[in-house]
Amino acid sequence: MLIVKKFGGTSVANKERIFHVAERCIADYQKGHDVVVVLSAMGKYTDELIDKARDINPTPSRRELDMLLTIGEQMSVSLMAMAMNHLGARAISLNAFQVAMHTTSAHGNARLKRIDTERIRRELDDRKIVIVTGFQGVDKYDDYTTLGRGGSDTTAVALAAALHADACEIYTDVDGVYTADPRLVPTAKKLKAITYDEMLDLATLGAGVLHNRSVEMAKKYGVQLVVRSSMNDSEGTVVKEVVKKVERMIISGVALDKNADRISVFGLPDVPGSAFKLFNTLAKNNINVDIIIQSAGRDGTKDISFTVSHDNLQDAMDLLEERKEVLGFERIVSDRDVVKLSIVGAGMISNPGVAAKMFECLYNQNININMIATSEIRITVLIPEKDAIKAMNAVHEAFGLSE
């Protein structure tokens, strides 16, 4: 069996943890498996490198920043190889050049295009454990690139796809995917299995267990993932295409996203194109808009509300105030004290009334819903921040996830 195992920064943060990971990988190797290990930079080292860069240049070029950041994983993989050697195992570390990991040239947010498997295959055939730098790639100009936050998950999935691996295990500091964040919902349960689509919505919505691009890639190439804890041997959660009915509840999880602020624009002219102009202005300035609702205003005008991330709120407000006359609205207000609460579940498709049940549950708790957005397998509501924990627990309970 060929197994790809990915360990995040926390799992290799110090000597003791490096040896712990080394032992785990060697155990699989000694069973006769081919083992490929993907590592992130140690602990918070990537953040430290970013600080180091910003100290020299507050706005470093992305090309040079990637040149700096890639050393983080190169440190992890070489130290891991030394640890495995010390434990008597044959191991070799490889970076993005050595593999090679071909990506686009979008520094800081590159996409993997192609992975050469020749070198890895040769080392595996030579019965070595192969330790690969996550997160990084090389573009057509021979320049380093990075895949963005959580990119090591993507590296692992892409390697598993390219090598036709039998398993792709993502080790993290939680022991699987839960029905809700256990720190916020004490009755949250670990899921045995979840579909790619459900996981995608949970990842996007801030559950934070898996990087969403890695899930997209796993879905595209049919790579079955297992999310497991690097600290213990519990079974973890399988992420795959179809989850059998017996394993599945209507709702798989409840996710909370605190990184959302609301902007309301009042008194836009009720003529064709006014909404387009508004959102085009924001898009041109790289401000992503999430939930949008539009309602009739007074006297032939309309009101539009939408959410943006914390980072973008001030920019969005400044920009719209500046274009007030061109866009023709009366006034704008923003609200920081809101959160997005979502329920996700592939079972929704065949179970009508899920939305109604969620709204009823919130009504019973006397929680006001500001905005609503839905997809086939997800319902998201914007609610006051103060009600977040109460709402999360109530919804979790209402859909039987606490049982």
C-alpha span between 370 and 328 (Å, rounded): 24
- Bridge partners for 344 per DSSP: 253, 378
Between residues 83 and 210, which has the closer beta carbon with respect to a copy of itself? 83
Decide: is 18 part of the binding site for a copy of itself (CB under 8 A): yes
Q: With contact defined as beta carbons under 8 Å apart, do 77 and 83 qualify?
A: no
Vertex 258 angle, CA 255 and 260, to 5°: 110
Decide: is 93 part of the binding site for a copy of itself (CB under 8 A): yes
Evaluate the omega torsion of the peptide bond into residue 100 and state whether it is cis, within 30 degrees of 0: yes
C-alpha span between 1 and 167 (Å, rounded): 8
Segment interacting with a copy of itself (CB under 8 A) among 91-99, 180-188, 209-217, 263-271: 91-99
Decide: is 292 part of the binding site for a copy of itself (CB under 8 A): no
First to last CA, the chain: 36
Structure tokens at 89: 């195992």
Shortest distance, position 13 Cβ to a copy of itself, whole Å: 13
Structure tokens at 364: 């019973």
C-alpha distances (whole Å) from 309 to each of 150, 253, 268, 304, 315 are 19, 22, 23, 17, 11
Helix (H, G, I), strand (E, B) or coil at 390: helix
Between residues 142 and 233, which has the closer beta carbon with respect to a copy of itself? 142
Decide: is 177 part of the binding site for a copy of itself (CB under 8 A): no
Which of 26, 81, 147, 193 touches a copy of itself (CB under 8 A)? Answer: 81
Decide: is 315 part of the binding site for a copy of itself (CB under 8 A): no
Decide: is 68 part of the binding site for a copy of itself (CB under 8 A): yes
Shortest distance, position 148 Cβ to a copy of itself, whole Å: 18
Between residues 75 and 319, which has the closer beta carbon with respect to a copy of itself? 75
Shortest distance, position 72 Cβ to a copy of itself, whole Å: 8
Within 13 Å of residue 288, how many CA atoms lie on the same side as its CB? 6
Segment interacting with a copy of itself (CB under 8 A) among 78-86, 184-192, 235-243, 385-393: 78-86
Between residues 65 and 263, which has the closer beta carbon with respect to a copy of itself? 65
Reading across the β-sheet that carries 261-269, which strands appear in turn? 292-296, 301-308, 261-269, 331-335
x/- binding map, residues 129-148, to a copy of itself, per CB under 8 A?
A: -------------xx-----
Within 13 Å of residue 354, how many CA atoms lie on the same side as its CB? 25
Question: Could you say which residues in the range 23-62 bind a copy of itself, by CB under 8 A?
Answer: 52-53, 55-58, 60-61
Decide: is 110 part of the binding site for a copy of itself (CB under 8 A): no
Structure tokens at 3: 């197994």
Q: Given the rule CB under 8 A, which residues bind a copy of itself?
A: 15, 18-19, 52-53, 55-58, 60-61, 63-65, 67-68, 70-71, 74-75, 77-79, 81-83, 85-86, 92-93, 95, 97-98, 119, 142-143
